[in-house]
Amino acid sequence: MYQRSVLDNKLRVLTSTMAHTQSVSMVICVGAGSRYESDELAGVSHFIEHLPFKGTESWPTARAVSEAIEGVGGVMNASTDREMTVFWCKVALLHYKTAFAVLMDMVLHSRLDPEDVEKEREVIQEELRMTYDQPSYRVDLLIDEAMWPDQAMGRDVGGTPETVAEIKQKDIREYMHQQYNPANTVVAVAGNVTHEEVVDMLAETTRNWKPLESLDWEPATDNVDGPLVKVERRHSDQTHLCLGVPGLSLTHPDRYAFNLMNTILGDGMSSRLFLNLREEQGLAYDVHSSSSNYRDTGALVVYCGVEPSKTNDAVKTIVKEFQGMHQAPSEQELNKAREYTKGGLLLRMEDTRAVASWLGAQELLQDSVRTPQEVVESLDAVTPADIARVAEKFLNDEKMRLAVVGPRGGVKALTGMLRF
């Protein structure tokens, strides 16, 4: 499925030749995210992600950067999470060399103009304030604080308006110099190109890019005994709640059983939570669960939006469904979840950007890549007994965390509901 090379400067290059496609996608994954930041520099990774779009040495304005990609029908964007920052573009094969030159220039030679930095600071602060103002977003941040209190994992990736205000131009340059180095970066390319031509192009482009020792990420710790509840009162038409438990790392052998457990519980319109809370009881319009995996930890989180008067009923029902997962599902229910997961994965792998992202993220975070077929085989190996075993270990009342944003909800009463 892919080929891998390591350049002399320690830059890792992965490619997947997809001869049937007309597009080429390039993904640059950098080890820069909130887990690498000090409390004082919270949000600096996200701040930096915005700045290369404002201009580079060869494309000195935001318009020049945009037109080089979007002007030929391509798309480009970037994102920052806890563990990495990703820049990507997807263009027609005809234009891929120019697009790659732009994306590499953004990472290597961003102008970081002081005026642009100040303008973007205001944009980011407003973005953060908007997030805090929306209860459905705010509850996502609150559950992270409950899952990992007083840790980098529990912080907003964007920082706070206050920390962003204090990030200096010097901080940006120093952090970018340290983290944006080839030993801490992976470039992944997918499309109708050969591995050799991509490696040759990157070797030339990055010949003066020197490896450095980058900052390490902060390990996560489970430092809470028993259930934990966070409530933020505010006037709203709905109560927004998240009920979560700590999960598994990217490399844990039970992660596939854990993720299939999540699918059965709350992923999709045929999941247990959806059928119970929405279809049978009418407690919520939107209810779903999601699982996430990181380098050394993970999470399963249920989100639910309910009428304030139904908050307690919703929490009790979700807790009951957690307990119900301790009983092994039927082969039919497990197989349905398995085929749903496998089908989504395999369909995504027809897209060049999805393939490049698959390669780049795994290489950066795990130093290895599992192919889609290997993942399918691991999913096929999960048994109903595995689901019950993992559920009993993780979906228990000692590990539950609850976040509530809305007009109602008492901490003491809600804490008492987090018991089987």
Q: Tell me which residues are annotated as active site.
A: 49
Between CA 102 and CA 6 the distance in angstroms is 22
Of the candidates 126, 53, 133, the residue with the CA atom closest to the CA atom of residue 85: 53
The phi and psi torsions of 136 (rounded to 5 degrees) equal -65, -30
* Residue 291 phi, psi (nearest 5): -115, 145
Q: Which tokens go with 201? A: 């192009």
Residue 279 CB coordination number (10 Å): 10
Integer-rounded Cα radius of gyration of the chain? 23
How far apart, in whole angstroms, are the C-alpha atoms of residue 108 and residue 181? 9
Between CA 238 and CA 420 the distance in angstroms is 26
Nearest Cα neighbor of 341 from 282, 409, 265 is 265
- End-to-end distance of the chain based on CA atoms, in angstroms? 46
CB 185 within 8 A of CB 215: no
Query: Alpha-carbon distance 309 to 235, whole Å?
Result: 13
Strands across the sheet with 12-17, in order?
3-6, 12-17, 185-191, 23-30, 85-92, 75-80
Contact assessment for residue 313 and residue 283, using Cβ atoms and an 8 Å cutoff:
yes
In whole angstroms, give the CA distance from residue 265 to residue 288: 8
**Taking CA 364 as the corner, what is the angle to CA 358 and CA 367, rounded to the nearest 5 degrees?**
100
Whole-number Å distance between alpha carbons of 292 and 255:
10
